[in-house]
Amino acid sequence: MTSTAPATAPRIEAIELHRIEVPLVRPFETSFGRETVREALLVHVRTDLGDGWGECVAGRDPFYSAEYVGGAASVIERYLAPALLGATADGATRAVRGAESADARSAGVPLAASVAPALAFVAGHRMAKGAIEAAVLDAELRAQGRSMGEAFGAVRDWVDCGVSVGIAPTLEELLDEVTGYVEEGYRRIKLKIKPGWDVVPVGAVRELLGRDGLLQVDANTAYTADDIPLLASLDAFGLLLIEQPFAEEDLATHALLASACETPVCLDESILDAATAVDAIERGATSVVNIKPGRMGGYLEALRVHDACRALDVPVWCGGMLETGIGRAANVALAALPGFVLPGDTSASSRYYADDVTDPFVLGTGEHRGQLRVPDAPGTGVAVRDDLVREWASAPPITLTR
């Protein structure tokens, strides 16, 4: 990220945590569960130069990953926020103040870039850390009058949009849902698959889209090495990619699949940072990378993954985690970078929500059919609707101060 930081970085004065439940317009089912509401953790950072918002992408339960909303809220309250606010973590003797040391502030070191080092004493919890970093980055860029797209190095004003389609109760309902998304203009369809829901639905959707329609599948780690012949048979459907069929730690089996099929293998859950991305690529376990900033600990690490993949000529795309407009705005800015050459899961707000905590993201028309405009206002470029944050609250807000 390019930096034109002011002479003095912002000073974090308070961190607020808001847990909300946003109703989904339709249930969303994957190989690891079914959701009817999106429980989200929003992080509101108040600094001496202005405020910023970030969104934690952890789910309600620890099924997609080890992280979940309640755990993220707890680790932020007990460890991460006290560290950034200059207090000790849970009574420990270590006061981690790297993010706001006098030397860093006087030298104009960007505050957002100091968040990850300051929180490194806590193992893991990338989604919680990423939410804080996003909020700090939003506040910092708003103070500078710069958009995330500008700061990230966006090269496009509009980004192509794909849509993620969950596992449907019946094949007929799946085809009806996909037909609706095609009519809305989405430029790529992604199908969730699992054992017993793979070859038949993929074949039916391929027939619906025709040979030229962009189609890919996502298994969310639901398969094993015994399923390699079945997954290789999906070559017949001309897919863009097969996403994360095996366990996140199992690079070896992904490499075996890659050698057994023509369809590119894409990794999602396995990619935690730039180092793991390069390792997976060099092992032949992936030839496409799904970049999800929350899974990588924040947008700054996501930028490093993008740069590493681009240097190796590996295409990337931006994944989604049912984000509200807060997270969606930052994802759209990220997807405008040059290495994002495939449509991402940056769907319009209406794909998931009848109403959103920001102004809704709406698909373009005409030449921009199937695209979203990259926000160009400072920070994320969106305003948070405090009324809906209060209305959808699932727990009392938590305010942590110095």
Return the CATH architecture of domain 12-145+385-401.
Answer: 2-Layer Sandwich (3.30)
Q: What is the pLDDT of residues 171-181, one digit of tens each?
A: 999 999 999 99
292 is catalytic: yes
- Name every residue whose Cβ is closer than 8 Å to that of residue 211 and which is 6 or more positions away in sequence: 238
Q: What is the pLDDT of residues 34-74, one digit of tens each?
A: 888 899 999 999 999 999 999 999 999 998 889 999 999 99
Name the least confident of 34-48, 79-93, 193-207, 358-372: 79-93
- Pairwise CA distance, residues 223 & 237, whole Å: 19
- Name every residue whose Cβ is closer than 8 Å to that of residue 12 and which is 6 or more positions away in sequence: 45, 46, 47, 84, 85, 99, 100, 111, 136
pTM of the shown model: 0.91
Which is more confidently placed, 60 or 96?
Answer: 60
Which is more confidently placed, 87 or 53?
Answer: 53
Residue-averaged pLDDT of the chain = 92
> 402: pLDDT confidence band, cut at 50, 70 and 90?
confident
Q: What is the pLDDT of residues 366-388, one digit of tens each?
A: 999 999 999 999 999 999 999 99
pLDDT over 50 (residue 313): yes
129 is catalytic: no
Could you tell me the residue ranges of all domains in the chain?
Answer: 12-145+385-401, 151-373
pLDDT of residue 8: 60
- DSSP output for 100-135: G-HHHHHHT--HHHHHHHHHTTS-S-HHHHHHHHHH
- Select from 12, 2, 1, 8 the least CA-distant residue to 109: 8
- For range 221-238, the mean pLDDT: 98
pLDDT of residue 28: 83
Return the CATH architecture of domain 151-373.
Answer: Alpha-Beta Barrel (3.20)
* % residues pLDDT > 90 (the chain): 87
Q: What is the pLDDT of residues 233-268, one digit of tens each?
A: 999 999 999 999 999 999 999 999 999 999 999 999
pLDDT of residue 33: 76
